[in-house]
């Protein structure tokens, strides 16, 4: 279990204590190859469920104890689960061992493979379902809608909104070395200062190396922290959205309590 410590955060500008935050040590990044193998296995399993759904739609496969519409939905849901988890593992692997930008085709494929698999995992079923004469209109309509929704969900979860290249990762590691960086539970950037104003809304931070931050999908440095440290060679991002996420999470937590 990751170690959690209470840490007093002192403001660099005022010298006063900002708060006592819980600092959680980041978990090891893991092995990219293992994540990729897991992703491929799950994707293949998802395609197997799609084939079973197609066979049910064509009347070639049938479970006697379950209506056909229930079978179609069940196989599509299982397909979706496998594809989404596989895509999350693949994105995790990409952040641990990114592709090089020198090979544009590989870089694009590596970062969009999950989306491609999502299309393969649902579009053929949709085509078969719409053209099949073995099912009534109600079954075709319901199954098609479920498949389209599953395709959209899989596509969103599979798309990497924060891709990183090997060159950008190497530059970040070269610049920051083994320096400790911080990130919040709902953040999308890493910070070089725990007292950054964009972290004021959270009481728990994760600390680690920049490699661990990138593996955790924090691929860019906070623009405010970069300016504070006069870092100009790294890709930055505005951390305002992190603050908004933390405020929303805090409001939800208050509402639940």
Final residue in a domain of this structure, among 133, 158, 183: 158
Indicate if 191 and 102 belong to the same structural domain.
Answer: no
What pLDDT score was predicted for residue 252? Answer: 52
Nearest to residue 147, comparing CAs of 73, 60, 68? 73
Indicate if 123 and 83 belong to the same structural domain.
Answer: yes
Do residues 80 and 149 touch, judged by C-beta distance below 8 A? no
Indicate if 220 and 247 belong to the same structural domain.
Answer: yes
Indicate if 129 and 184 belong to the same structural domain.
Answer: no
- The stretch 52-58 carries a mean pLDDT of 92
- The stretch 224-235 carries a mean pLDDT of 88
Indicate if 96 and 146 belong to the same structural domain.
Answer: yes
What pLDDT score was predicted for residue 236? Answer: 81
154-168 pLDDT, tens digit each = 999 999 888 889 999
Indicate if 226 and 131 belong to the same structural domain.
Answer: no
| Structure tokens, 204 | 């728990």
What's the rounded Cα separation, in Å, for the pair 253 and 133?
Answer: 51
β-sheet bridge partners, residue 52: none
Phi-psi region of 222 (alpha: psi -120 to 50; beta: other; left: phi over 0): beta
Final residue in a domain of this structure, among 98, 130, 158: 158
Domains in the chain, number: 2
Indicate if 72 and 152 belong to the same structural domain.
Answer: yes
Which is it for the CA torsion 212, 186, 168, 191, positive or negative?
negative
74-93 pLDDT, tens digit each = 999 999 999 999 999 999 99
Which is it for the CA torsion 194, 200, 204, 206, positive or negative?
negative
Indicate if 69 and 131 belong to the same structural domain.
Answer: yes
Indicate if 60 and 153 belong to the same structural domain.
Answer: yes
Residues composing the chain: 257
207-219 pLDDT, tens digit each = 889 999 999 888 8
Indicate if 59 and 19 belong to the same structural domain.
Answer: no
Indicate if 97 and 211 belong to the same structural domain.
Answer: no
C-alpha torsion angle, residues 52, 57, 60, 66 (rounded to 10):
80
Indicate if 22 and 38 belong to the same structural domain.
Answer: no
Structural domain boundaries enclosing 71: 32-158
106-164 pLDDT, tens digit each = 899 999 999 999 999 999 999 999 888 877 888 889 999 999 999 999 999 999 888 88
Nearest to residue 43, comparing CAs of 78, 1, 7? 78
Question: What is the share, in percent, of the chain residues with pLDDT greater than 70?
Answer: 84
**pTM (two decimals):** 0.80
């Amino acid at each position: 279990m990751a170690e959690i410590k209470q840490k007093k955060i002192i403001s660099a500008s005022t010298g006063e204590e900002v708060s006592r935050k819980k600092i959680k040590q980041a978990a090891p990044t893991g092995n990219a190859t293992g994540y990729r193998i897991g992703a491929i296995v799950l994707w293949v399993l998802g395609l197997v469920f799609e084939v079973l759904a197609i066979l049910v739609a064509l009347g070639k496969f049938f479970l006697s104890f379950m209506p056909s519409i229930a079978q179609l939905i069940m196989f599509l849901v299982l397909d979706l689960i496998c594809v989404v988890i596989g895509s999350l593992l693949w994105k995790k692997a990409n952040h641990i061992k990114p592709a090089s930008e020198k090979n544009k085709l590989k870089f694009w494929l590596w970062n969009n493979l999950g989306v491609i698999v999502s299309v393969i995992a649902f579009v053929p079923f949709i085509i078969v379902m719409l053209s099949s004469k073995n099912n009534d209109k109600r079954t075709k309509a319901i199954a098609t809608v479920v498949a389209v929704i599953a395709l959209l969900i899989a596509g969103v979860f599979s798309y990497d909104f924060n891709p990183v290249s090997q060159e950008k990762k190497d530059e970040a590691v070269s610049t920051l070395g083994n320096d400790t960086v911080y990130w919040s539970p709902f953040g999308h950037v890493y910070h070089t200062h725990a007292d950054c104003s964009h972290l004021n809304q959270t009481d728990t931070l994760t600390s680690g190396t920049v490699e661990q931050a990138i593996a955790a999908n924090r691929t860019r440095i906070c623009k405010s922290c970069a300016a504070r440290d006069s870092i100009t060679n790294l890709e930055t991002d505005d951390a305002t959205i992190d603050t908004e996420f933390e405020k929303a999470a805090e409001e939800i937590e208050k509402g639940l309590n």
